[in-house]
Amino acid sequence: MPRTRQAVPSRDPEDAILVRSLGLELPPDQRLDAHAHPWGQLVLATDGVLAVETERGGWVVPPRRAVWIGAGFLHSVRATGRVRMRTLYLRPDLAEPLQRACCVVPVSPLLRELALEVLRRGMLRDDEPAEARLAAVVVDQLRATEEVPLRVDLPSDVRARRVADAVRSDLARRLPLADLVRGSGASVRTVERLFVAQTGLTFRAWSSVRATRALEPSRRANR
């Protein structure tokens, strides 16, 4: 009696995707309202500075850093200036070894190039051996990084510090820098230069995170 061959159910092509990618150009002050993803998410800015906010705090993401956002973690994103945002989404089983919450991590040259390569390809699939190996390297790089503490430095120059203190004294207001420098003893251009040199951020980027109340006196400010 001949055997009947049972049909093997075909796999949905979407199920083979390990990593998705997305690139966005965000204008100044563009905000992506609070949302969550079923996949883990790595967000980096190749140009400009992002501010990522969650119910647990806020993170500043300049070009040499990235923020890891665990699956299902509610977050919003805001561009502090013109930003080129690059995002990788990792399938839940691939992201399993990684932290489930939200944290900022340094972006090594290798991790940056890996992210850009995934963006160039668009996605990585588990039925393509070379792509599966590439996805594994991305995870290895993320596992090897250490979380960057949540802190934004204060400028040490007394003139720029006066401006910073004025911002910190009233977090609800959004005065332009031209108003804030009055009485500081410095021009707008000088204060902008001091913020970049002493905090690593433009004044616009630095002040955009004041709502997170994450600004703490740093060792640099106390020298």
The pLDDT-based confidence of 188 (bands split at 50, 70, 90) is very high
The Cα 191–Cα 178 span in angstroms is 10
Residue 129 banded pLDDT, cuts 50, 70, 90: very high
Instruction: Quote the pTM value.
Output: 0.67
Residues in contact with 189: Cβ distance below 8 Å, sequence separation at least 6, in sequence order: none
Query: Is the pLDDT score of 150 beyond 80?
Result: no
Which residues are within 8 A (CB) of 33 and not within 5 positions of it... i.e. 6 or more apart?
76
Q: How does residue 7 score in pLDDT terms, banded at 50, 70 and 90?
A: low
pLDDT over 70 percentage in the chain: 80
Backbone angles phi, psi at 83, to 5 degrees: -130, 140
Give the alpha-carbon dihedral of 177, 199, 151, 101, to 10 degrees: 90
Reply yes or no on whether the pLDDT at 139 is more than 90: yes
Cβ atoms of residues 11 and 61 within 8 Å: no
Q: In this predicted model, what pLDDT tens digit does every residue of 47-75 receive, in sequence order?
A: 888 888 777 667 778 778 899 999 998 99
pLDDT in tens, 23-41: 999 998 888 999 999 999 9
CB 86 within 8 A of CB 130: no
**In this model, does residue 99 exceed pLDDT 50?**
yes
Average pLDDT score, the chain: 82
What does each C-alpha distance from 176 to 17, 111, 182, 209 come to in angstroms?
46, 37, 11, 15
> What is the average per-residue pLDDT within 74-91?
90
Q: What is the pLDDT of residue 212?
A: 44
Dmax (CA) for the chain in angstroms is: 98
The answer on pLDDT for 130 being more than 60 is: yes
CA dihedral angle for residue 15, residue 33, residue 213, residue 216, rounded to 10 degrees: 50
For residue 6, CA distances in Å to 1, 3, 10, 11, 54 come to 15, 9, 12, 15, 50
Q: Rounded distance, CA 67 to CA 107, Å?
A: 9
Nearest one of 126, 94, 98, 104 to 13, comparing CA atoms: 126
Share of the chain above pLDDT 90, in %: 37
Helix 129-144 and helix 109-121: axis angle, to 10°? 150
Half-sphere exposure of 84 (CA within 13 A, CB side): 5
The pLDDT score that the predictor gives to residue 88 is 97
Orientation angle between helical segments 188-199 and 158-169, nearest 10 degrees: 90
**pLDDT for res 50:** 84
Residue 64, Cβ density class (10 Å: 0-12 exposed, 13-18 middle, ≥19 buried): middle
